[in-house]
Structure 1
Amino acid sequence: MDKPRINVKSGETPNYTAMSDVFSFGDPEPCLDNRLTDYTGVFADSNGIYAPPVSLHGLVKLLRVNAQHGPILGFKRNMILKWFKPNSVLSNEAFKKFAYDYLWSGNAYLQIIKNPFGQIIRLRHLPALTMRYTTERGVYAQLSNNYLEPIHFKAGEILHVKEYDPAQGIYGIPEYYGGIQSALLNEDATLFRRRYYKNGAHMGFIFSMADPNLSTDDEAKLKDAIKDSKGVGNFRSLFFNFRSNKADAEKSIKITPVGDISTKDEFERIKKITLNDMLSMHRAQEALSGQSSGDSPGFGDLDKITRAYYNNEVVPLQQTMAGINRYLPSHLHIAFDIPEYSDLYPNKDKAA
């Protein structure tokens, strides 16, 4: 910063002219700098492969965007997996990946492996991130690394379970798609808060003086004392000495705290609102999924909540997963155990 201008006349003491310094913190940035919610439609490329209508790589990154979105999807996967009954062709590990792909991308794939006699011996999981549908009827392809040619599968070799999208029938769209902006806003609020504390562009207090007789050495010692004071690592403090000849002795030293209440309240409000949005977009019970919005003092009756969640959410997801049974012989059908508290429990009436 430039030094103050000094106007000196014969027989007069120096007169320090007041100056102002204006600056800004960085360049402006767009608020909506992501394109995760752009629906591009489904189009085939030169290789005859249909591109998904939304960015699958973007949806993968979204899994780690905050502390709620990814863990809630993991909780829903665990609820589906909890009652799954592994069989000779579909292992627990393969079904775990299969169910999770369906939840985060709206698409899940299994490859049918047969022996030389045409019998199904294994259902192999294929990651939804790299699987694509081709312009050839019933044929899927898997994208490979190192810019190699995609791996094409035989017609009918791939089982594809997808969430319904009324705009097109090739790929599924995850149910939480409409809540992506809330998840991103939650992340933006956290990142803004972190940058706020790390970039040093905030102050704890302003130490101002109006003492024209303060020596340069004493002023330097005072600045060093402020810098070395406890807590300076968390907040930046500003020292300012206005050398005025009309200084008031009672007001020569003034400490002005710099408040942060409004910013804090806005941060907490955004975090709470976006958390409620994410619980809504996933239809997740906070008592079961490990999330808390803070709106209620307790979680309520966990047994009733678990029973209602199982009947209304887990069972429909299990039925969707079991859609692959249409393409499997009856002795290889996947199945799920039924808890006693379920409305589907066969001996419920007798037990009552």
Structure 2
Amino acid sequence: MNLRSLLSFGRTELKPLPWEAFTFGDPAPVLSNLDLIRNYLKSRHNGRYYETPLDFRHLYNTQYANPHHLSAMQLKVNLLCALFTPSDYLPLPEFRKFALNALVLGNAYLEEIPSKSQLTPKGFISAPAMYVRRMDDAKYGIMRLDSFELKEFNSRIYHWQEDDLEQEYYGKPYYLAGLQAAWLNEEATLFRRKYYRNGNHAGFILYLSDPAYSLDDVKNLKLALKESKGPGAFRNLFLYAPKGKKDGIQVIPVESAQAQDKFFDIKGVSMADVCATHRVPPNMMAVQSSNAGGFGNITEARDALIQNEIVPLAKLFAAVHPVLQFDLPK
């Protein structure tokens, strides 16, 4: 027996536990929104009608994905309503539906209500653009929600559409280039909500290096940490280690100030992109400036918005039918 064997005689050598790492909580999902970008082969004819170039249902849902995206369109609708001249043929509530369809979906339809004399129409209503489809021979039909059957309109339809260079059956909304920024803003908000809900803003790495712990002790500690996350975030944890050594257990915080600032950077940049897409000044949407200079005079911003955006749009609406009348500023 050599000297090393004599020195180690009667001792039980402690075998180090295998290194183990784990995470808690489910990954935070984000929206893909790829279904909106699918193209229907330039509005191909499916045997009954021409399909829309974009999924109008996703366009409708996207308006609620980002507050700046929705606010910009609602502001334009309100300014158009302020300039619109209502009449018995087309009251203000029906025009508001028409304008909202035009801005959200890029398409708007006026349905003529025939009178008994058949000489002059009784009035006009706004047909829901999400369910109106273009048929052969320049006819239009509307989809039934219960059976998705296409019913042809019996009255005359007046169609307003945004320009699309690929096809002439439907319009495409002007804001498509800014949807990526709107989705990024939404995904940052959803991730932040899950981040706080899971308690990960108080996250840390628990580094255990003391060999005195058994595998059962590690499992119990892991279970206690899992139960302190999610709905039970910020729970206190008591750890008893009679054979522990100094620095045998270390808590290393994960979060840093730089990581926090990324969230505000994403929100600010995406908001600026959305406002630029709609060409609406931020102060017109009640956005507070982060600098001392602000966004400038709000009255001048409103007048510029009306002259550059609302007046041209009102003139395009007026070209659809004479019932669309506006009191435009000189």
Report the TM range for the smaller structure's normalisation. Answer: 0.7 to 0.9
Quickly say closer, same or farther: Cα 1:307–1:236, change in 2 above 3 A: same
Q: 1:110–1:126: 8 Å Cα contact kept in structure 2? A: yes
Deviation at 1:315, TM superposition (A): 0.4
Higher helix share: 2
Any idea what SS the aligned residue of 2:46 has?
A: coil
Instruction: Give unmatched runs, 5+ long, in structure 2.
Output: 1-7
2:264 equivalent in structure 1: 268
Identity %: 30
Q: 1:44–1:50: 8 Å Cα contact kept in structure 2? A: yes
1:122 equivalent in structure 2: 123
In structure 1, how many angstroms separate the alpha carbons of the residues matched to 2:129 and 2:273? 26
In structure 2, how many angstroms separate the alpha carbons of the residues matched to 1:69 and 1:101? 15
In structure 2, how many angstroms separate the alpha carbons of the residues matched to 1:149 and 1:29? 35
Deviation at 1:266, TM superposition (A): 2.0
Quickly say closer, same or farther: Cα 1:19–1:189, change in 2 above 3 A: same
Instruction: Give unmatched runs, 5+ long, in structure 1.
Output: 1-8, 345-352
In structure 2, how many angstroms separate the alpha carbons of the residues matched to 1:259 and 1:284? 36
Equivalence map 1:98-177=2 (5 Å):
98-118=98-118, 119-135=120-136, 137-147=137-147, 149-154=149-154, 157-177=156-176
Any idea what SS the aligned residue of 1:60 has?
A: helix
Q: 1:208–1:242: 8 Å Cα contact kept in structure 2? A: no
1:56 equivalent in structure 2: 56
In structure 1, how many angstroms separate the alpha carbons of the residues matched to 2:39 and 2:144? 24
Letter of the aligned partner of 1:315 in structure 2? V
In structure 2, how many angstroms separate the alpha carbons of the residues matched to 1:292 and 1:121? 47
Instruction: Tell me the alpha carbon deviations over residues 91-116 of structure 1, each in whole angstroms, 9 at most, x when there is no partner.
Output: 10000000010001110001111212
Are residues 1:284 and 2:273 paired? no
2:5 equivalent in structure 1: none
Quickly say closer, same or farther: Cα 1:316–1:295, change in 2 above 3 A: farther
- Alignment match of 1:317 (pick from 313, 316, 319): 313
Letter of the aligned partner of 1:178 in structure 2? A
Higher strand share: 1
Quickly say closer, same or farther: Cα 1:295–1:43, change in 2 above 3 A: farther
Q: 1:206–1:239: 8 Å Cα contact kept in structure 2? A: no
Quickly say closer, same or farther: Cα 1:242–1:273, change in 2 above 3 A: farther
- Alignment match of 1:258 (pick from 238, 254, 257): 254
Q: 2:17–2:211: 8 Å Cα contact kept in structure 1? A: no
In structure 1, how many angstroms separate the alpha carbons of the residues matched to 2:34 and 2:261? 26
2:3 equivalent in structure 1: none
The normalised TM-score by structure 2 is 0.81
Deviation at 1:228, TM superposition (A): 11
Q: 1:210–1:242: 8 Å Cα contact kept in structure 2? A: no
Quickly say closer, same or farther: Cα 1:241–1:179, change in 2 above 3 A: farther
Instruction: Tell me the alpha carbon deviations over residues 311-334 of structure 1, each in whole angstroms, 9 at most, x when there is no partner.
Output: 111101111111223xx4xxxx33
Equivalence map 1:11-50=2 (5 Å):
11-12=10-11, 15-23=14-22, 32=32, 34-40=34-40, 41-47=42-48, 49-50=49-50
Any idea what SS the aligned residue of 2:179 has?
A: helix
Instruction: Tell me the alpha carbon deviations over residues 186-227 of structure 1, each in whole angstroms, 9 at most, x when there is no partner.
Output: 11112222222334566544566777889xxxx9xx999999
The normalised TM-score by structure 1 is 0.76
Q: 1:209–1:241: 8 Å Cα contact kept in structure 2? A: no
Any idea what SS the aligned residue of 1:123 has?
A: strand
In structure 2, how many angstroms separate the alpha carbons of the residues matched to 1:242 and 1:20? 19
In structure 1, how many angstroms separate the alpha carbons of the residues matched to 2:226 and 2:152? 66
Deviation at 1:145, TM superposition (A): 1.6
Q: 1:211–1:241: 8 Å Cα contact kept in structure 2? A: no
In structure 1, how many angstroms separate the alpha carbons of the residues matched to 2:16 and 2:243? 9
- Alignment match of 1:300 (pick from 296, 299, 302): 296
In structure 2, how many angstroms separate the alpha carbons of the residues matched to 1:211 and 1:109? 73
Count matched residues.
318
Quickly say closer, same or farther: Cα 1:107–1:19, change in 2 above 3 A: same
2:90 equivalent in structure 1: 90
Letter of the aligned partner of 1:171 in structure 2? Y
Root-mean-square deviation over aligned CA pairs: 3.9
Of structures 1 and 2, the one scoring higher in RCO (CA 8 A, sep 6+) is: 2
Any idea what SS the aligned residue of 1:171 has?
A: coil
Quickly say closer, same or farther: Cα 1:262–1:19, change in 2 above 3 A: farther
